[in-house]
Amino acid sequence: MGFIEEIQRRRTFAIISHPDAGKTTLTEKLLLFGGAIQVAGAVKSNKIKKTATSDWMEIERQRGISVATSVMGFEYHDVKINILDTPGHQDFAEDTFRTLTAVDSVIVVIDVAKGVEPQTEKLVKVCRMRKTPIIIFVNKLDRPGKDGFELLDEIEQKLDLRLTPLSWPINMGPKFKGVYNIFDRSLYLFEPNKQRVEEGIAFDDLNNPFLPQYIGDDDTHTLRDELQLIEGVYPEFDIEQYLQGELCPVFFGSALNNFGVKELLDCFIRIAPRPVGRDTEERHIAPDEEQFTGFVFKIHANMDPNHRDRIAFVRVVSGKFERNKPYHHVRLERKLKFANPTAFMAQKKEVVDEMYPGDIVGLYDAGNFKIGDTLSEGEVIHYKGIPSFSPELFRYVENADPMKSKQLAKGLDQLTDEGVAQLFTGKATGRKIIGTVGALQFEVIQHRLLHEYGASCRYEPINLYKTAWITSHNKAMLEDFKARKASYIALDKDGRDVFLADSPYALQTSMEKYKDIRFHFTSEF
């Protein structure tokens, strides 16, 4: 197969949802269709359980397994599908944001009874900013839930999306009879059966007199009326608008019952975007450019205590990645060769010789990589769009073992390269401050410092509300601000100035008073 065909047949996406909406179950059913796993339950056992808030040791244990599910590749009708896993736990939201930079589209799972939940809102906002094409799967139709139209209204309003239903449910809960697939004009009847794959019955014309035989007179009437309403109210599906992130198709089903999943997948492989290019600071890179380029969006520590290796996950953006070929590490200005690049096929990892745009390659790394790093064949480019967000929780970190200060420094450096947390150094005090988006990370850091670096740390409280990166064209004003606020200025890992605001008031008054200073809440500006 030629280079262009290889690119064209790839689909790289993530499934996102609020915890419990059914992301894991849906992922698993998709893998079953692809023949990538044989039994239901295989992915489920890898899931970071919801008890995780208190039981973070469990997370550590599962983190090891979850390397294998970070990327799940499989083939379906000659299409190479790469599903990127996103942690459901909200303390790892930033991991999820970063993973979204490596996909070309997303499927959003919504629980029919719960509707739009907070985590869904946050994640969809990121997708909207990036204009990522979105398909919505409304799940758990076997349970009573919100009325279809009300739910669509809620999704449109809360998620600020334009929708077009491509399937429509016939009742829900105990009376759920199935869905009419608007996309391929056929009726799918529901049977609560967890493994069976149902076949649709073609109903091109809804006035077909045989329809009531399948769903009864009343439901036939309702279905006809509702579909007419849909036709009148919702825009027709338009693939270009979908690909621009301006129109989102909606499917209904029940992942647990394997219902509506195949239609979703069949439609997905027809409409979902092929690998798209990415912007660098210098220029746009198209996937079919001959020279290989890619960026690191995730770093995962190896769980094997005998190896300090980590795996850096690289999204191939252009060209062909080849094993043992020297590539240019732009930030380090060094050539690196990779003897064991790894591909992820469902539950297996395997060494591969070549990877194509859209693929995710895992590179063993002894500390060379940082989130956001670019690899190329020599061209100096910097991929954009992998920002750090202003953290929400802060603590001073202190060395608890004076004999191990080097280990502590190295551990903190590497863990923050992995994106577990952000590290700031107070300019006046030299004290180190860790900022995270979730409380769990503090424990994870302490534990990993001890077990992977032999360093111990203790935390001390710091009263901080938010951090903001500060820049200004008005040098005098910036210097004045930094001098006046000296005890509230820190440096990030890259040596950039950061304002430590201890209250919303402090932040607001500073922003009002120092009009020429720009306060940035993400690291990319």
As a whole number of angstroms, the distance between CA 336 and CA 117 comes to 44
Q: How far is the CB of 277 from ligand G4P (least distance, A)?
A: 31
The gap from C-alpha 293 to its chain's centroid, in whole angstroms, comes to: 21
Among 10, 11, 23, 404, binds ligand G4P (CB under 6 A): 23
Q: Is residue 22 a contact residue for ligand G4P (CB under 6 A)? A: yes
Instruction: Pick out residues in 86-105 that bind ligand G4P (CB under 6 A).
Output: 88
Give 362-423 as a DSSP string.
Answer: EEEESS---TT-EEESS----B---PPBPPSEEEEEEES-GGGHHHHHHHHHHHHHTTSSEE
Cβ–Cβ under 8 Å, residues 287 and 275 = yes
Does 273 help bind ligand G4P (rule: CB under 6 A)? Answer: no
Q: Using the rule CB under 6 A, which residue among 120, 171, 257, 510 binds ligand G4P? A: 257
Q: Which of 19, 144, 212, 385 binds ligand G4P (CB under 6 A)?
A: 19
Is 254 near ligand G4P (CB under 6 A)? yes
Which residues 205-244 are close enough to bind ligand G4P by CB under 6 A? none
Q: Which of 86, 120, 139, 414 binds ligand G4P (CB under 6 A)?
A: 139
Report how far residue 52's alpha carbon sits from residue 60's, in angstroms, rounded to the nearest whole number: 10
The angle formed by the CA atoms of residues 359, 84 and 180, to the nearest 5 degrees, is 110
CA 19 to CA 414: how far, in whole Å?
Answer: 29
Contacts with ligand G4P by CB under 6 A: the residue count is: 19
Q: In angstroms, give the least distance from the CB of 258 to ligand G4P.
A: 9
260/254 Cα distance (integer angstroms): 6
Nearer CB in complex with ligand G4P: 89/404:
89
Q: Binding segment for ligand G4P among 23-31, 222-230, 451-459, 463-471 (CB under 6 A)?
A: 23-31
Residue 403: other Cβ atoms inside 10 A: 9
Question: Is residue 17 close enough to count as binding ligand G4P by CB under 6 A?
Answer: yes
144 scored as a contact of ligand G4P (CB under 6 A): no
**Helix (H) / strand (E) containing 182:** none
> How far out from the chain centre does Cα 178 lie?
30
Q: Does 14 bind ligand G4P (CB under 6 A)?
A: no
Q: Is 143 in the site for ligand G4P (CB under 6 A)?
A: yes
Min separation Cβ 252 and ligand G4P, Å: 10
278 binds ligand G4P (CB under 6 A): no
What angle (nearest 5°) sits at the alpha carbon of residue 212, between those of residues 209 and 215? Answer: 150
CA distances from 515 to 390, 473, 500, 506 (A): 20, 11, 17, 14
Instruction: State the DSSP string of 269-281.
Output: HHHSPPP--EEBS
Looking at 12-20, 404-412, 454-462, 477-485, which segment touches ligand G4P (CB under 6 A)? 12-20
* Residue 256 engages ligand G4P in binding (rule: CB under 6 A): yes
Q: Which is nearer to ligand G4P, 177 or 427 (CB)?
A: 177
* List of residues contacting ligand G4P (CB under 6 A): 17, 19-25, 44, 47, 88, 139-140, 142-143, 254-257
